[in-house]
Homo-oligomer: A and B are copies of this chain.
């Protein structure tokens, strides 16, 4: 698959060495991220809304209630910007100026369309559930026709995209290395804690492996 082109919207100007345009890098970040942040414009006003999502090939799937302002706006074919970011650590330099964050982010642009075919909607919803909790779709009670009707699903074709990454240790000015203070990286990770059982769950119901060994 070819890289995404570097466009006026996606070219990384600040610290261009941190910019990536290949699908592999971009899609790995998208697939690992828990949620995304959807930007759209209404009456000239910017809005940003957080939401669950999934990637299916070169598209992003969003879903929600039919009354959702954001989804109706996207379904109408308006341009949308979707951003997602994974924070990997805090970068503590000797100088305040060189403090930073290790992160992997993607910003992408596209336009959406409403999914109306039930099979296509089901496949999209499966992708969203499996994005969040791989393994859950085959166990949970699947959407019935009434629930499917009560769910609006949009698919956004990724027209332009770029990733921006920072990794590694701090970079300080040469004269600051002599300063007597700790410097390095404090890694951060999203980690699952002990699962909380639903109150109405029979005592013998085991925690499934995809919950017990969940990893992001």
On A, residues with C-beta under 8 Å from B are 9, 13-14, 34-35, 37-41, 44-50, 52, 64-65, 67-69, 79-83, 85, 87, 89-90, 92-97, 99, 101, 103, 105, 107, 109, 125, 129, 132-133, 136-137, 139-143, 147, 150-151, 169-170, 176-177, 179-202, 205-208, 211, 214, 216
Contact = CB atoms under 8 A, between A and B. Distances in A.
A187 B193 CA distance: 5
Contacts of A52: 101
Contacts of A87: 34-35, 190
A11 to B, nearest CB: 10
How many chain copies? 2
A187 B176 contact: no
A170 B133 CA distance: 15
